[in-house]
Structure 1
């Protein structure tokens, strides 16, 4: 798999029937290694190792209803009160991040109401903060720290 614009992380791999799988520490199972999954697992490690977001607040690949249709988000990070702190859309490295990608995550966020958004193809990362009152988002240089309330 290609080198991504993340730190080097150590991953667990498994070979089965000429297919390589990568271990997902959030879903606690091996997942077929595709270019998009390679990006997704780097993002998970980034959230755990560098941002120090608690594993218990991270969710990967769950269904969300958008305009009555079932869609799957890539990664969500929750606040400790159950509200959504961060919604992440992962694309394969060869997929160009464009307005269509931002429209997709914005549609998902109509149902999820995440405070922050991240869009990445593993090479380029974009971070946004939502302004629900004015129905827009502003770009950030980095993801904020998560505040853990007890």
Structure 2
């Protein structure tokens, strides 16, 4: 399990027609403040403010097709080359991060292959990395730093 110390929240929260709404700076709109949304906004805040992930390279509730079904990933992080790099599945704090949650995100990986999968409920966070040599997922002790994939061009001999 990875210990996450969320930065102090600085969210814009309002109430409309008896519903609490939170401003999502990534989607640039107010959304209903559900327990899962609270976890998602705190985790996004952590990725940007503590881990220096570029907010412009994140997609929230990214739609995808799993066979006949349309599903949404909570968070997809992309590389600077616009390649999917990490999928994050958020659950509300009372939800256990069990094998069903892990199976859910692995199914997302089938439609959107990435090297990292993260599940979090705000209290507990797990990260898995695909071991391509062995073809299996391995739990990581921490979240990876954001990749800087700007490699120097190689010189080819003629």
The answer to whether the superposition gives a TM-score over 0.5 is yes
CA deviations 1:98-138 (Å, max 9, x no partner) are 00000000000011111111100111000111124433111
Listed one character per residue, the Cα deviations across residues 61-86 of structure 1 (whole Å, up to 9, x for unaligned) are: 02111123111110000011121111
Q: TM-score, normalised by structure 1?
A: 0.92
Aligned length, in residue pairs: 147
Q: 5+ unaligned residues in a row in structure 1: which ranges? A: none
The TM-score, its normalising length taken from structure 2, stands at: 0.87
Q: Provide closer, same or farther for how the CA distance between residues 122 and 129 of structure 1 changes in structure 2, counting only shifts above 3 A.
A: same
What is the rounded CA distance, in whole Å, between the counterparts of 1:118 and 1:84 in structure 2?
A: 13
- Paired position in structure 1 for 2:69: 69
Task: State the match for 2:103 in structure 1.
Answer: 103
Partner in structure 2 of residue 20 of structure 1: 20
CA contact 1:5–1:124 (8 Å) conserved in 2: no
On the 8 A contact 1:22/1:33 being kept in 2, the answer is yes
What is the Cα-based RMSD across aligned positions, in Å?
A: 1.5
Tell me the SS of whatever aligns to 1:147: coil
Shift in Å, 1:5: 5.9
Q: What is residue 47 of structure 2 aligned with on the other side?
A: 47
